[in-house]
Amino acid sequence: MTSWTARDKVAVIGVGTTSFGDLYKTRDKFRSDYDLAAEAFKVAVADAGIDRAEIDGLLTARVPSYQHMADILGMRRPKLSYGFEQAGRMSALAVQAAINAIATGHCETVALVYGNNGRSVGAQYGGGEPTTPTGQYDAAYGMTSAGAYVGLMYERYRQLNNVPDDGLAAVSINNRNHAKLNPNAVMHDDLDASIYMESRFVAEPLRLYDYCLINDGGVALILTSVERAKKLGKPVIAFSGTAACGDLTNFYTSDDYYYESCKSVADRVYQQAGTKPRDIDVAQIYDNFTPTILFSLEGFGFCNRGEAHRWVRDGRIGLGGELPVNTSGGHTSESYMQGWAMHVEAVRQLRGECGARQVKDAEIAQYICAAPVSSSHILRRIA
């Protein structure tokens, strides 16, 4: 195994988010994704307490042009500047690019900005023009949307592992319970097992509450070297490990529910950080659709294959449980910010800034995304 040389060398010094709950209440066709990203950037710079001129790298996601983004932010000559495609799997990959650039000395301080006006402009995941080679074939059968491809995986998982009908209820309700403690989350209504079970199917076996909440919003992160972060006088939240692995086929559906790719990431990320699943104090798990939480827990070794649907029950993934998961409410109850806001939540948990939803004494956080490119980081408060 190749060794990763950036352990505890790069830290997150600034995080910023727009409102999510307020933005959800109104649609505005003039609301700009660039402006949402800029708003989050401004918050993140203030949070970091640095001079904006010290930022010498810019990575953008979802906004169409990194050049326009840089112009808006007044970043004329960054040493690092490019954009990532809008898929949610790119959030961790963009963060990895920033870590690598800082650790190898390409630049010193990188801002990552994400802007999304999907709700206002009526973003649809499914039903649009096919974008993959199989897309035109699949659309002829009425097949579309990542949710439907995850539905195929979950139906097989459900059958082969004898999962009861309410196999996803615990993770969906867990997200909601946490969102109720998060003032910025979109959803604060009660969600219990009967409301969950009575909700409508979208792509059966997936129900309404298994789907992410498409919303408007912006998120920004500022990363720099640990050396520099230590001079800023705030808790230092460092990356102790980060890894990724593709499972790249024609379909969003993976025939092993991303197990092998997740396992590859897990093996590396835990080795890099010198941790095991039981050392993780809090986990943020990418959930564009709730089955990915089960697939992630299995692929990363928190439980045995086929058993995650039982493992998540009885409060194990709630506050005070063995592994609090998605403490902000996740994509189904906080807001679908494609993994970006989950990065922020991991940092805020490690800084102890989470109020009613704070995991007591959280020192090690993990971000996990099971997708056609699976990824994970282990973040640690080191000072």
Partner 1 sequence: MNLHEEYWANLEQGEFKIRRCNQCSKWQFPAMTRCQHCLGEDLSWQKPSGRGQVWSWIKVHKPYFKDYADEVPYLVAMIKLEEGPLMISSLTDVKVPVVKCGTPVSMVIKKGRGGKPMPYFQMPSGPA
Which positions touch partner 1 (CB under 8 A)? Answer: 124, 126-127, 133-134, 136-145, 148, 151-153, 155-156, 159-160, 200-206, 250-251, 253, 255
> Minimum CB separation from partner 1 for residue 125, in Å?
9
The least distance separating partner 1 from the CB of residue 349, rounded to whole angstroms, comes to 34
**Secondary element (H or E) of residue 107:** none
Shortest distance, position 127 Cβ to partner 1, whole Å: 4
Sign of CA dihedral 288, 291, 297, 300: negative
- Nearer to partner 1 by Cβ, of 153 and 319: the residue is 153
Which residue lies nearer to partner 1 by CB, 68 or 156? 156
Nearer to partner 1, 28 or 204 (CB): 204
Cβ-based nearer residue to partner 1, 130 or 315: 130
CB nearer partner 1, residue 208 or residue 356? 208
Give the CA distances from residue 5 to residues 72, 103, 164, 218, 239, in Å, rounded to whole numbers and listed in that order.
34, 8, 44, 31, 11
Q: Any residues with CB less than 8 A from the CB of 25 and at least 6 apart, and which?
A: none
CB–CB of 176/319 below 8 Å?
Answer: no
User: What CA–CA distances, in Å, run from 78 to 52, 82, 106, 173, 269?
Assistant: 12, 10, 11, 43, 30
CA distances (Å), origin 76, targets 38, 70, 72, 221, 229:
15, 7, 10, 19, 24
Identity of the amino acid at 363 = E
- In angstroms, what is the minimal distance from the CB of 301 to partner 1? 25
Q: Is 96 helix (H, G, I), strand (E, B) or coil?
A: helix
Q: What phi and psi, each to the nearest 5 degrees, are found at residue 301?
A: 80, 15
Q: Which is nearer to partner 1, 121 or 143 (CB)?
A: 143
